[in-house]
């Protein structure tokens, strides 16, 4: 994808967190991997060929440099990434199976993201802006992002939201969860998200409550190996998961919402079943590689024909 020129701005932006996953490989060794749910979505859209950016702040140390270089390699518009002299945001993954993790970043760079410092005039080019991840559970960053989403919505920009539940999203997150759900044109949730966000085992009731908050939103509801469904104001469609050889599922959820956004932006004439199929294909394509590797458009389209 050709980078944006000084006189052009990306049409898609994901605003939130880019972080480093510190994964405990064995009892003594740790492996670092670039990550962050909103950052991953930006890379997916860039991989599919849309002029895209990640809007957020990273550190100036080795962790931030890795994120910067990965963003450059992905073709993201780097004018939207702010590199600051603050500590990095780390996700310490002490166990992958079962998942155990905690976050380190009490005064880290991500919290100092300044929306007012983004390139002047970028909003006029933006067609779609994505929010989600732990960025919306970390103050004062969360308040900045909610205000940005409200401003963009008022200007007619499409908003998508993937809460991507993590253990720091307790009752203090409830107001943000509801506000962002009411703002969004598109919401992505998994069954695990619903259980965690509503702190309930009644997943069906949780989903109906989410729908009641914003009946005009389209909701992508993923259920892992059980497939996914899309619920729009006028239609409901379901599809099974694609049978592939899975390397791992890291980044699959980010790829699925990225695929849905791409489909909605590129093929607006298509119906809900087709958009759902492309979202599932994109998520499956991400599972064919280790780590949060953005799928190629060619692979996603090939798998789309198999759904």
pLDDT digits (tens, 9 = 90+) for 269-284: 999 999 999 898 888 7
pLDDT at residue 162, rounded to an integer: 96
- Going by CATH, does the domain composed of 12-304 fall within 3.40.1190.20? yes
Banded pLDDT at 4 (limits 50, 70, 90): very low
Cα(197)–Cα(208) distance, integer angstroms: 13
Stronger pLDDT, 30 or 97, i.e. the higher one = 30
Contact predicate 296/285, CB 8 Å:
yes
88 has a pLDDT exceeding 80 = yes
CA 143 from centroid of its chain's CA atoms: 18
Instruction: Of 30-34, 194-198, 251-255, 299-303, give the range with the top mean pLDDT.
Output: 194-198
The mean pLDDT of 185-198, rounded to a whole number, is 95
pLDDT score for 37? 92
Rounded to two decimals, the pTM is 0.92
Average pLDDT over residues 193-204: 95
Q: Which residue has the higher pLDDT, 255 or 118?
A: 118
Give 242's pLDDT tier (boundaries 50, 70, 90).
Answer: low
- Where is pLDDT greater, at 258 or 286? 258
pLDDT at 1: 44
290: pLDDT strictly greater than 90: no
Could you please report the per-residue DSSP string of 150-203? HHHHHTT-EEEEE----TT-SGGGHHHHHHHHHH-SEEEEEHHHHHHHTT-S-H
How confident is the model over 244-258, as pLDDT tens digits? 666 455 567 788 899
Statement: residue 3 has pLDDT above 60: no
CB 278 within 8 A of CB 304: yes
Closest CA to 44 of 81, 71, 80: 71
């Amino acid at each position: 994808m050709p980078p944006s020129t000084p006189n052009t701005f990306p049409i898609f932006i994901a605003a939130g967190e880019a972080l480093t996953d510190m994964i405990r490989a064995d009892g003594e060794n740790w492996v670092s991997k670039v990550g962050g749910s909103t950052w991953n979505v930006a890379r997916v859209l860039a991989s599919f060929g849309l002029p895209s950016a990640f809007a957020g702040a990273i550190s100036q140390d080795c962790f931030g440099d890795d994120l910067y270089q990965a963003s450059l390699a992905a073709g993201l518009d780097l004018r939207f990434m702010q590199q600051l002299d603050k500590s990095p945001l780390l996700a310490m993954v002490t166990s992958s199976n079962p998942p155990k993790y905690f976050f380190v970043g009490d005064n880290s760079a991500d919290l100092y993201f300044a929306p007012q410092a983004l390139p002047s005039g970028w909003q006029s080019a933006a067609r779609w802006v994505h929010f989600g991840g732990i960025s919306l559970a970390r103050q004062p960053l969360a308040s900045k992002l909610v205000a940005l989403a409200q401003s963009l919505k008022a200007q007619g920009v499409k908003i998508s939201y993937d809460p991507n539940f993590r253990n720091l999203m307790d009752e203090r997150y409830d107001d943000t969860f509801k506000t962002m759900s009411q703002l969004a044109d598109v919401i992505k949730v998994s069954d695990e998200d619903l259980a965690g966000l509503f702190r309930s085992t009644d997943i069906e009731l949780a989903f109906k409550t989410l729908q009641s908050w914003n009946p005009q939103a389209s909701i992508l509801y993923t259920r892992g190996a059980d497939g996914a469904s899309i619920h729009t104001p006028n239609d409901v469609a379901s599809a099974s998961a694609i049978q592939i050889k899975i390397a791992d599922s890291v980044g699959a959820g980010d790829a699925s919402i990225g695929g849905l956004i791409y489909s909605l932006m590129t093929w607006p004439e298509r119906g809900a079943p087709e958009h759902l199929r492309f979202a599932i294909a994109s998520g499956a394509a991400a599972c064919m590689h280790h780590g949060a590797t953005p799928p190629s458009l060619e692979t996603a389209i090939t798998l789309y024909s198999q759904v």
